[in-house]
Chain A
Amino acid sequence: MRAIPFARLLLAAAAFAAAALAQDPAVPARTFAVRCGTLLLGDGKAPLRDAWLVVVDGKVRSVGMDAPVAGTPVVDASARVVMPGIVAVDSDLANAADSDYQYAPDALAVDQFDFERSQLAALQGGVTTAYLSPGRLRLVGGQGAVVKLAGSDLVARVLDDTAALRVNFAEAALDAPRVFEPTAHPTDEDPLEAARIQTPTARISVLAELRAAFAAATDKDLRAGGEGPAEHRFDERPLADVVKGALPLRAGAFLATDIRRALLFQQELGVRMVLEDPQEIAEVVDLAAAQKVAATFRVPVRFGRANPGGEDRLDKSPEPRADAAAKAAAKGLLVGLAPAPGVPMRDYLMAVAVAVRHGLPADKALRAVGADAATILGVDGRVGTLQPGKDADFVVLSGDPLAVGTLVEQTWVDGERAYARKSSSTALAIRAGLIHDGAGRSFRNGVVLMQDGRIKAVGEDLAIPYGAQVVDLPQAVVTPGLIDAFSHLGLAGEGMFVPPGAPNQRVHDAIAHDDPMFVPALREGITTVLVAGKDGGPVSGRVAAVKTGAADHASMTVRPIAGLRMSHDAIGPDAIRGFAEQINRGKQYVEAWRKHEKDLADWQAGKKAESQPAPAPQPTEDKPEAAPVDPLSGVWEGDLDVQGQIQLKFTLDLKLAGNKVEGTIKISFGGREVPAQPIAGGTFEGGKLKLEFRGMGGSATLEGTIKDDVLTSKITLGRMGDQDLIARRISKSSGAPAPRRASASKPDEDGKPKAPKVDEGLEPLRAAIEKRAALVVRCNRGAAIGDVVELLEKEGIPYVLTGVEDLYDGAAPLKGRKPAVLVGPETVFEDKGELKNVASMLADMDLPVLFGSGECKNAKLLPLHAAYSVRYGLSPADALAGMSSATARAFRLDDRVGTLQKGKDADLVAFSGNPFEPQSRVLVVVCNGRIVVDRREDKQ
């Protein structure tokens, strides 16, 4: 007696503990809410916006606008479309085989269905419930079932194991095989009989057969009968169930004549009937409507595949009617939709969209995979719509269910997430109200499609590929990523530490890809900058083109040399000579390289032409080494070819001590030998070699494996990156390399032309002369301008002018030439009480105007400087070109940046409005295909 209250106390304590473990006492267990941007209920009615779907214990608790109680876990689909899980009104998922016998009413499709198998394609298509068809060939093929396509409780997944009895009124039922029914012990009285023919073999006997079979299974007096099924025994109860109204008939009928006979049978028996894929229903649709039958259709197109019967114009197979579902629905038939046989279920909604294309109203089409589909299958109490009490089967879609690029992101079955899309795609789509591609075209409600850092397509109404990340900016104006034509961004101060007058200085090496100074410019849409140090002297320095939003240093550099800044302002007779000499030096340098390339090509051609010499004699002087030798010690040689440009020869003299490696490394370059350097450190363990040494402009490492005197390694050479190096041991004794044996020398090195010396100081000029870069020439005086323009036009060298003060008075010095002119940041001057807009004036002379900020920290203001010029008369198109396409063209960067065109770098800016309106702000910036700025949520 005393123990009982004690037990109660224990129970109470346990209950208290359980309650304490629950996440929030106000929220029942297994409860969550889905915040839906758009919520379709499956009933074909207008969707709810910004609605909540609340799920408790796998069932829909509520749908509506009211937020759930605080503390409810939330699945955020606020930027997504949520709809009921698709009810597939027909499928071949059971893979049901056909019996040999014409009558197999007791064959159940559910028995053939593999519940353990993942239905990934269906879940990817948003299908959560499916009708499983039995075999479709025989007269009475069996019974279909309705199952859920996910869930661990196999029994609970079956909504109806005997959903319908399938009867075939179509051609295939006339072609059952003969059946051989041997007697077990043949005697004279009971002999072996020939295989039995199965009826019907012609349409005239189909109804007669069916009447007889159904009459035999019931007491009902049918108007006429037939021989009916012969010896084969089967369970007649399903036929009786049909007559009693307990089991609907699924009538397979394609041709109008078959549909008509199916309807006749329905009338005679007075049973529930679903016509299965009655493609020619239009001809008998009034009759079908009067008899209130339902119909399921397979949308007759297989996407991206050959379609049966289509390859031969003489093919006699009946034409499917894509508008059949529309015709049936128009007369009030209940219609269900499924994709054609062979179409993966992941394309279910695309098939539905095709039915809409052929006249089925979109609301009916969605009902045909929702409410109506469930009604046809008799499972409308459970699925098909998202109403309180029904199963929480729903799909989260990336957009409009019927849009071509919409994909299923999540599929939920009974309140459990059965599928979530992995976002492995690198595709990015920006949809915007207006897109200026920078090349003169504009797109309303356009799309920029990007993948792997490049632009794939730009246009209006582009299909978004399956799996793409979509950014919707319906009000935004998208332009190419902006280019600052002259900037010190990335360099310290105003280009300090890159000294003026040093064109040999590799500007891009001095810039870090993650320089925080890039961020403000990037936030204003500047994705590319043409960086140079401070000007000074006639040849001041290189211009490098770099991205401000790159992920790493390698992808930061668009061009190491995009230009060379020079100046010339001398006037008078022959004043251009100094400038021209610079150009001449460059030309000679280029000529030397051209000659080398030609010699090299000739030499290589000659080498190819020579027949292969006799095999080199095997070294015969190899003597066995006196001392036992480890696998490493000795002299190793290997050649390295860096991108076909630089040929290096490595000589490693190594000695193993324990697992430590000592020795020297010598790198020969361009025929020059440099002194051997000691190795900074190294190890050799288990056949793996690691070395560290000072290499090309920094520390270098080598990692590799040794096997049979061959070293296979990866060598990291500072900025040259990783290279594969294979070296061979030419001597097993450490120390000075053994003198080369004649037989070991490489005959193909003989006579190889020597490359000219690389002159870093002349490389920028070489790039310009080879039209890979532009000279940026500062000159202000008219005569100087004239001289420069004349010379560079004659030499055909790309150039950009800057300064150009005398051009303000007229374009005469240009003599009709149209060079690009770099301006900014100041373009509007007050001159004798009048405002002069330099950019506008130059643009009026038909000169491409390029905007450069000339700043570092304040490069971010470039778009505003351009806007100021627009305020005083520059056309916005010229202003945009001056920060995109014109700049890219002038600096020969137009293969990469400047316009939104297929194949170009995926750099763009989305503004909240007109890019030149001071009120507009940047919403999104994409650089190299990555969203690097997303200011959509920023509060002003």
Chain B
Amino acid sequence: MNASFRLVVAAALAAATLAAQDGAPAAPAAAPQPQAGPNLPDKPFELWRPRRPKEEKDYQVAKWGPRGLPSPGYAFRAAKVLPITQAPIVDGVVVTRNGLIEAVSPAKDVTIPAGYEVVDCGDAVIVPGFVEMHCHIASESFDLNDTVHPTNPEFRTLDLISMEHDQIRAARAGGVSVALYIPGSGSNMGGFGTLTKTWAKSPEEALVRFPGSLKIAQAGNPERGSGDLGTDMMGMSEGIRMTLLDGKRYWEQHEAWQAGKGEKPKFDPTLELLRGLFRQEYLVSVHTQIYQVVLQTLQMLRHEMGLWTVVVHGEFDAYRLSGNAYESGMAVAAGPRNYHFDRATSQFLGLMQTWHDGGKYYAWRDPVLGLGRDGVGVNTDSPVVPQEQLTVQAAIGVRLGLPHEVALRALTINNARFAGIEHRVGSLTVGKDADLGIWSGDPIDPRSAVQVMVINGQICYRRDPSRPVW
């Protein structure tokens, strides 16, 4: 790639995102999708979570982290600003203060308030901080698998977070500002994950939301079978189902009591967090990867239990369920193995691309609908893949056919929406958290690197050019 090609890419990006406002339906005429396959849905993907509380204050079980913590006034000026949910801005400025974005606009249109420091980023590209949907990095000790009992709804990663160790520093160097830090997949229900910023003065200040999600691992790891774990799908599914049903009953009793029907159930510390799950205060993030298992995810978690369900770690041939996922409002984050070798066609398939458009190379199979622009996310499973390489995952997607614009959305607003924090992060929008990645070039280009990382309005990372990575 040379510089002129990069300019072309940037121009294409600009065109692609010009009219794509957040939440507004894509207008095919105004925004042609240059690499779209034949099976893109007519309507944008819509995540299924109908019971979700409207405001943060309506949450009963989950706890939201602080916002608007003090930070200096900055005006970051760069050659390009990609707000994601607005058209790209050439020679743009992002103004931040007290942890929030105060303005995003062309430099010529903005008056920088007195006392704000102007940070001239030159040729850099400013993007939102990226959101990691599946990782295990926040603890110094990789102590996330208790693998004795098949389900552990009482476990929580919140207790383990520590802000200063190599992997979490690598997250900042990789442009990641929010991570969904979840238990391991050694047992079927590993416990509750935490949505945390990757920098703050303390874990308490870093908190975005706890629980971030319930971690369920349906297959592809928990069957290694220690203790009394079932080692086949039926046994494992039974354990998950029984535990969820306990929680569901507890939730239903609560709902009834709150509706004035029946007694208040005795407080059960183990089931309390499951109640929040059924209230759809947060999602279930499911480690599920092959066709058969993802089908089970769809059937049991999404339809039978009625949970806000996001497939993470989505790999292998499960992409052929993209149509069902689209219709059920079940989002998918792909990675860290972001390609699949299809033996029927002897083709390497990009997983993000196939989830996105249903797969162009379906050969003799019936064509299925794709999830479309808004239904695909991405994850690393760090430290399995270094946290710094979240953008590399997206780059693999682009290399194997995913539209560049979708890759950027997957890293930002899509992941944020899947996690239910799109009102806080995921785009450069006035009022959202001041999480900015200031890149030397297009973040999808593997040669680009983060120059400066801003989280909650604080400059928390500057690249040391003498070091190869961070």
* A and B: interacting chains: yes
Chain A residues near B (Cβ < 8 Å):
174, 197, 199-208, 211-212, 215, 221-227, 255-257, 260-261, 264, 283, 287
**Do the beta carbons of A261 and B160 come within 8 Å of each other?**
yes
Q: What are 24 A-B pairs with beta-carbon distances under 8 A?
A: A197-B148, A199-B146, A199-B148, A199-B149, A201-B148, A202-B144, A202-B146, A202-B147, A204-B191, A205-B152, A205-B155, A206-B159, A207-B156, A207-B159, A208-B154, A208-B156, A208-B191, A212-B269, A215-B269, A224-B270, A226-B270, A257-B140, A257-B162, A283-B162
19 new A-B contacts, CB < 8 A, other than A199-B148, A264-B159, are A201-B148, A203-B159, A204-B144, A204-B155, A204-B160, A204-B190, A204-B191, A205-B152, A205-B155, A206-B159, A207-B159, A211-B154, A212-B270, A223-B272, A227-B152, A256-B140, A257-B162, A283-B162, A283-B164
| Known interface pairs A205-B155, A264-B159, A283-B164; A255-B141 also in contact (CB < 8 Å) | yes
> Which A residues lie within 8 Å of B202 (CB)?
287
**Do the beta carbons of A224 and B160 come within 8 Å of each other?**
no
Does B139 make an interface contact (CB < 8 A)?
yes
**Do the beta carbons of A224 and B272 come within 8 Å of each other?**
yes
| Known interface pairs A197-B226, A264-B159; A227-B269 also in contact (CB < 8 Å) | no
Does B143 make an interface contact (CB < 8 A)?
yes
The 3 A-B residue pairs whose C-beta atoms are closest, nearest first, are A203-B143, A225-B269, A226-B154
- Which residues 195-209 in B have Cβ within 8 Å of A in the complex? 202-203
Q: Which of B139, B155, B183 has the most CB of A within 10 A?
A: B155
**Do the beta carbons of A257 and B160 come within 8 Å of each other?**
yes
Does B273 make an interface contact (CB < 8 A)?
yes
- Which residues 153-185 in B have Cβ within 8 Å of A in the complex? 154-157, 159-160, 162, 164, 183
Q: Which of B147, B154, B156, B272 is the one whose CB lies under 8 Å from A201? A: B147
State in angstroms the CA–CA spacing of A513 and B139 once bound together. Answer: 79
**Do the beta carbons of A222 and B146 come within 8 Å of each other?**
no
Size class of the contact patch on chain B: 20 to 34
> Which B residues lie within 8 Å of A261 (CB)?
159-160
**Do the beta carbons of A221 and B141 come within 8 Å of each other?**
no
**Do the beta carbons of B143 and A202 come within 8 Å of each other?**
yes
| Known interface pairs A204-B146, A204-B191; A222-B152 also in contact (CB < 8 Å) | no
Minimal Cβ-Cβ distance residue in B for A199:
B148
Q: Which of B149, B154, B273 has the most CB of A within 10 A?
A: B154
> Which A residues lie within 8 Å of B144 (CB)?
202, 204
State in angstroms the CA–CA spacing of A264 and B158 once bound together. Answer: 10
- Which residues 3-54 in B have Cβ within 8 Å of A in the complex? none
Does B227 make an interface contact (CB < 8 A)?
yes
Q: Which of B141, B146, B267, B273 is the one whose CB lies under 8 Å from A205? A: B146
> Which A residues lie within 8 Å of B328 (CB)?
none
State in angstroms the CA–CA spacing of A255 and B191 once bound together. Answer: 23
**Do the beta carbons of B139 and A203 come within 8 Å of each other?**
yes
Minimal Cβ-Cβ distance residue in B for A198:
B148
> Which B residues lie within 8 Å of A197 (CB)?
148, 226-227
| Known interface pairs A197-B148, A205-B152, A226-B155; A257-B272 also in contact (CB < 8 Å) | no
Minimal Cβ-Cβ distance residue in B for A287:
B202
State in angstroms the CA–CA spacing of A256 and B162 once bound together. Answer: 8
**Do the beta carbons of B269 and A222 come within 8 Å of each other?**
yes
Does B145 make an interface contact (CB < 8 A)?
yes
**Do the beta carbons of A203 and B160 come within 8 Å of each other?**
yes
State in angstroms the CA–CA spacing of A721 and B455 once bound together. Answer: 92
State in angstroms the CA–CA spacing of A257 and B138 once bound together. Answer: 11
> Which A residues lie within 8 Å of B226 (CB)?
197
Q: Which of B143, B162, B227 has the most CB of A within 10 A?
A: B143
State in angstroms the CA–CA spacing of A215 and B154 once bound together. Answer: 13
- Which residues 248-289 in B have Cβ within 8 Å of A in the complex? 267-270, 272-273
> Which B residues lie within 8 Å of A257 (CB)?
139-141, 160, 162
Q: How far, in Å, is B279 (CB) from chain A's closest CB? A: 16
Minimal Cβ-Cβ distance residue in B for A212:
B154
State in angstroms the CA–CA spacing of A205 and B149 once bound together. Answer: 11
> Which A residues lie within 8 Å of B140 (CB)?
255-257
**Do the beta carbons of B160 and A200 come within 8 Å of each other?**
no
Q: How far, in Å, is B246 (CB) from chain A's closest CB? A: 13
Minimal Cβ-Cβ distance residue in A for B143:
A203
**Do the beta carbons of A201 and B159 come within 8 Å of each other?**
no
Q: Which of A204, A224, A260, A264 is the one whose CB lies under 8 Å from B269? A: A224
> Which B residues lie within 8 Å of A208 (CB)?
152, 154-156, 191
**Do the beta carbons of A204 and B272 come within 8 Å of each other?**
no
Q: Which of A205, A208, A223, A260 has the most CB of B within 10 A?
A: A205
Q: How far, in Å, is B374 (CB) from chain A's closest CB? A: 33
State in angstroms the CA–CA spacing of A226 and B270 once bound together. Answer: 6
Q: Which of A203, A225, A260 is the one whose CB lies under 8 Å from B154? A: A225
Q: How far, in Å, is A168 (CB) from chain B's closest CB? A: 14
Q: How far, in Å, is A358 (CB) from chain B's closest CB? A: 22
State in angstroms the CA–CA spacing of A260 and B139 once bound together. Answer: 11
**Do the beta carbons of A202 and B154 come within 8 Å of each other?**
no
> Which A residues lie within 8 Å of B154 (CB)?
205, 208, 211-212, 224-227
State in angstroms the CA–CA spacing of A197 and B156 once bound together. Answer: 21
**Do the beta carbons of A204 and B159 come within 8 Å of each other?**
yes
> Which A residues lie within 8 Å of B157 (CB)?
204
**Do the beta carbons of A221 and B160 come within 8 Å of each other?**
no
State in angstroms the CA–CA spacing of A211 and B148 once bound together. Answer: 18
Q: How far, in Å, is B417 (CB) from chain A's closest CB? A: 27
Q: How far, in Å, is B390 (CB) from chain A's closest CB? A: 23
Minimal Cβ-Cβ distance residue in B for A208:
B154
State in angstroms the CA–CA spacing of A137 and B231 once bound together. Answer: 32
State in angstroms the CA–CA spacing of A256 and B152 once bound together. Answer: 25
State in angstroms the CA–CA spacing of A287 and B203 once bound together. Answer: 11
Q: Which of B144, B148, B183 has the most CB of A within 10 A?
A: B148
State in angstroms the CA–CA spacing of A268 and B147 once bound together. Answer: 26
State in angstroms the CA–CA spacing of A227 and B273 once bound together. Answer: 15
State in angstroms the CA–CA spacing of A570 and B118 once bound together. Answer: 107
> Which A residues lie within 8 Å of B143 (CB)?
174, 202-204
Minimal Cβ-Cβ distance residue in B for A264:
B159
> Which B residues lie within 8 Å of A264 (CB)?
159
| Known interface pairs A201-B146, A202-B143, A204-B144; A226-B152 also in contact (CB < 8 Å) | yes
Q: How far, in Å, is A214 (CB) from chain B's closest CB? A: 11
State in angstroms the CA–CA spacing of A221 and B265 once bound together. Answer: 13
**Do the beta carbons of A202 and B164 come within 8 Å of each other?**
no
Q: How far, in Å, is A78 (CB) from chain B's closest CB? A: 55
| Known interface pairs A197-B226, A215-B269, A255-B141; A224-B148 also in contact (CB < 8 Å) | no
Minimal Cβ-Cβ distance residue in A for B138:
A257
State in angstroms the CA–CA spacing of A777 and B324 once bound together. Answer: 123
Q: Which of B144, B146, B157, B202 has the most CB of A within 10 A?
A: B146
Q: How far, in Å, is A672 (CB) from chain B's closest CB? A: 91
- Which residues 114-149 in B have Cβ within 8 Å of A in the complex? 139-141, 143-149
State in angstroms the CA–CA spacing of A935 and B305 once bound together. Answer: 98
> Which A residues lie within 8 Å of B160 (CB)?
203-204, 257, 261
Q: How far, in Å, is B168 (CB) from chain A's closest CB? A: 12
Minimal Cβ-Cβ distance residue in A for B202:
A287
Q: How far, in Å, is A663 (CB) from chain B's closest CB? A: 91
Q: Which of A204, A207, A225 is the one whose CB lies under 8 Å from B270? A: A225
> Which A residues lie within 8 Å of B155 (CB)?
204-205, 208, 226
> Which A residues lie within 8 Å of B269 (CB)?
211-212, 215, 221-225
Q: How far, in Å, is B308 (CB) from chain A's closest CB? A: 21
> Which B residues lie within 8 Å of A207 (CB)?
156, 159
> Which B residues lie within 8 Å of A201 (CB)?
146-148
| Known interface pairs A203-B139, A255-B141; A224-B273 also in contact (CB < 8 Å) | yes
> Which A residues lie within 8 Å of B267 (CB)?
221
> Which A residues lie within 8 Å of B159 (CB)?
203-204, 206-207, 260-261, 264
State in angstroms the CA–CA spacing of A255 and B226 once bound together. Answer: 28
Q: Which of B149, B183, B269 has the most CB of A within 10 A?
A: B269
> Which B residues lie within 8 Å of A211 (CB)?
154, 269
Q: How far, in Å, is B285 (CB) from chain A's closest CB? A: 16
> Which B residues lie within 8 Å of A225 (CB)?
154, 268-270
> Which A residues lie within 8 Å of B227 (CB)?
197
